[in-house]
């Protein structure tokens, strides 16, 4: 979706490559960065348990970069440690003299490539970690919290990572000592430019069962599946059932629209997920374009009702399904996309209204400020509670909005958009 052109000024460990970050709503960049980083990881004498904060489906982990504490998104869709430019300067990241780049999406954003001396996750320590530094302002506004980047490939390469969305913990295991003895479903992983790929199958209404190579992307939180334009076009997915226009992704450079629907079923090995929420890309190039390397992504709504073990060292993921694993995932029922600028006084704003949605029917417009829902103030720095209230299909919420100098009261009758 966004291409990063990396220019190398003289020969060395880094070669001239195209870097394609897959940046979507509530996710970070999935950088494809070539070269030798010299990554080192401390040996773990015992498993390390690290709590995380769950914002919607987004897991936020507290880490230290060069001794500076920060909050990062846990993201298998990120091929490097991604840091916001301002924080990277604060953390004294060591910049490469040989590489620079530009993230090309709906706008251009400069990228710097460097190394962090140390990254600590609980008591686990990584050293000489590759860093991609960008302005992540749009993602901060979407998450509504002062996150400073994404923790990706280097952590998963170094340890076996067990993610428990119910307990809100990750457990890091020493790969050489990890042995799995549970009854979960083992799914083989292959890797494409530092991104994990799963062989899955998509069951359609009119075109049969279609094999798909899908990135496992823990930074993708809005929909269960996102499918590339090339895959959609080749297989006629957009014509399989009724779709509606909506946001496909938001990130560096702005917001991209696509088509939303639910396919009958997603199959991963012997696991079956019924009617997963699905977003279809309309991009002509980039990570979700006509010539995309993968067919799409599997996001957190698929895996969060399981205990998930990410085991890069043994090229596998393990899913232990929990209650309601196979049932359709729930998504927003308002058609409203909310954002909040980082700052104590910043309001929650409506960034987008899906045509034909409940929000559109109620007359809500982009730029409206959300003041309260059902009489409760939503001025919290975290917009997630407001988003959670807008997922309850069948409910009617009473909203108070500010539009310019006017204050409006709106009855919002929530219904599933797909």
User: pLDDT digit string (tens) for 334-378?
Assistant: 999 888 877 657 789 998 999 999 999 999 999 999 999 999 988
What burial letters (b/e) apply to 189-208, b meaning 16+ CB within 10 Å? Answer: beeebbbbbbebbbbbeeee
CA distance 269 to 40: 33
What is the token pair recorded at 182?
Answer: 């549970």
Which ranges in the chain are annotated with CATH 2.40.70.10?
3-177, 185-303
CA distance 354 to 357: 6
> 395 by DSSP, 3-state: which?
coil
Phi, psi angles (nearest 5°) of residue 261: -165, 180
Helices (H) and strands (E) in the chain, counts: 7, 32
| pTM for the structure as a whole | 0.86
CA distance 185 to 343: 44
CA distance 291 to 289: 6
CA distance 47 to 12: 37
> 335 by DSSP, 3-state: which?
coil
pLDDT in tens, 210-225: 999 999 999 888 899 9
Helix (H) or strand (E) run with residue 225 in it: strand 225-227
Q: Compute how many other C-beta atoms are within 10 angstroms of the C-beta atom of residue 109.
A: 22
Radius of gyration of the chain (CA): 21
Are 117 and 167 contacting, i.e. CB atoms less than 8 angstroms apart? Answer: no
Taking Cα atoms as reference points, which of 275, 218, 239, 252 lies closest to residue 140?
252
Answer whether CATH 2.40.160.10 is correct for domain 336-413: no
Helix (H) or strand (E) run with residue 102 in it: strand 94-104
Which ranges in the chain are annotated with CATH 2.30.42.10?
336-413
pLDDT in tens, 178-197: 999 999 999 999 998 889 99
Rounding to the nearest 10 degrees, give the CA dihedral for residues 134, 292, 141, 152. Answer: -60
What burial letters (b/e) apply to 215-243, b meaning 16+ CB within 10 Å? Answer: bbbbbbbbbbbbbbbbbbeebebbebeeb
Q: Compute how many other C-beta atoms are within 10 angstroms of the C-beta atom of residue 271.
A: 18
pLDDT in tens, 130-160: 898 888 877 777 766 778 999 999 999 999 9
Residue 381 pLDDT level (bands cut at 50, 70, 90) = low
Q: Is the dihedral of CA 197, 160, 331, 3 positive or negative?
A: negative
Look up the CATH superfamily of 185-303. Answer: Acid Proteases (2.40.70.10)
Strands 108-121 and 254-262: unpaired
Give the Cα-Cα-Cα angle 242, 246, 249 (nearest 5 degrees).
Answer: 130
Residue 4 pLDDT level (bands cut at 50, 70, 90) = very low
- List Cβ neighbours of 345 (8 Å cut-off, separation of 6 or more): none
CA distance 320 to 138: 34
Top CATH class of 3-177 equals: mainly beta
What is the token pair recorded at 357?
Answer: 């949605």
Q: E strands of 190-327, at which residues?
A: 190-192, 195-203, 209-216, 225-227, 244-251, 254-262, 265-268, 271-274, 277-281, 296-298, 306-311, 316-321
pLDDT of residue 100: 56
Q: Is the pLDDT of residue 58 over 60?
A: yes
């Amino acid at each position: 979706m966004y291409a990063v052109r990396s220019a190398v000024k003289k020969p060395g460990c880094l070669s001239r490559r195209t870097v394609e970050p897959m940046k979507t709503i509530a996710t970070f960049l999935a950088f494809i960065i070539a070269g030798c980083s010299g990554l080192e990881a401390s040996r773990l004498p015992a498993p390390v348990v690290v709590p995380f904060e769950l914002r919607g489906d987004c897991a936020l982990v507290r880490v230290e970069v060069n001794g500076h504490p920060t909050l990062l998104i846990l993201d298998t869709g990120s091929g490097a440690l991604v840091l916001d430019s301002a924080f990277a300067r604060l953390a004294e990241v060591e910049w490469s003299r040989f590489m620079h780049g530009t993230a090309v999406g709906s706008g251009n954003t400069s990228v710097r490539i460097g190394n962090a001396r140390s990254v600590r996750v609980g008591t686990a320590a990584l050293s000489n970690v590759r860093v991609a530094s960008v302005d992540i302002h749009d993602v901060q506004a979407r998450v509504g919290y002062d996150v400073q980047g994404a923790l990706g490939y280097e952590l998963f390469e170094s340890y076996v990572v067990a993610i428990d969305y119910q307990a809100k913990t990750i457990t890091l295991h020493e790969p050489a000592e990890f042995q799995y003895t549970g009854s979960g479903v083992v799914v083989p992983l292959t890797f494409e430019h530092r991104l994990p790929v799963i062989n899955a199958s998509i069951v359609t209404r009119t075109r049969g069962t279609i094999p798909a190579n899908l990135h496992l992307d823990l930074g993708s939180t809005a929909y269960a599946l996102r499918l590339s334009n090339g895959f959609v076009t080749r297989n006629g997915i957009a014509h399989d059932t009724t779709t509606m226009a909506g946001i496909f992704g938001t990130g560096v450079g702005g917001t991209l629209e696509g088509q939303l629907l639910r396919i009958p079923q997603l199959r991963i090995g012997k696991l079956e997920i019924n009617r997963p929420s699905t977003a279809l890309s309309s991009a002509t190039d980039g990570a979700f374009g006509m010539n995309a390397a993968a067919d799409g992504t599997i996001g957190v709504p698929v895996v969060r009702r399981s205990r998930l073990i990410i085991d890069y060292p043994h090229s596998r993921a393990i899913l232990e399904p929990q209650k309601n694993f196979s049932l359709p995932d729930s998504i927003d029922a308002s058609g409203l996309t909310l954002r909040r600028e980082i700052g104590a006084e910043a309001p929650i704003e409506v960034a987008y209204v899906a045509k034909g949605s409940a929000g559109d029917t109620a007359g809500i417009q982009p730029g409206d400020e959300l003041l309260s829902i059902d009489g409760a103030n939503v001025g919290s720095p975290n917009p997630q509670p407001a988003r959670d209230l807008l997922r309850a299909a069948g409910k009617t919420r009473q909203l108070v909005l500010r539009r310019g100098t006017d204050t409006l009261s709106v009855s919002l009758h929530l219904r599933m958009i797909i």
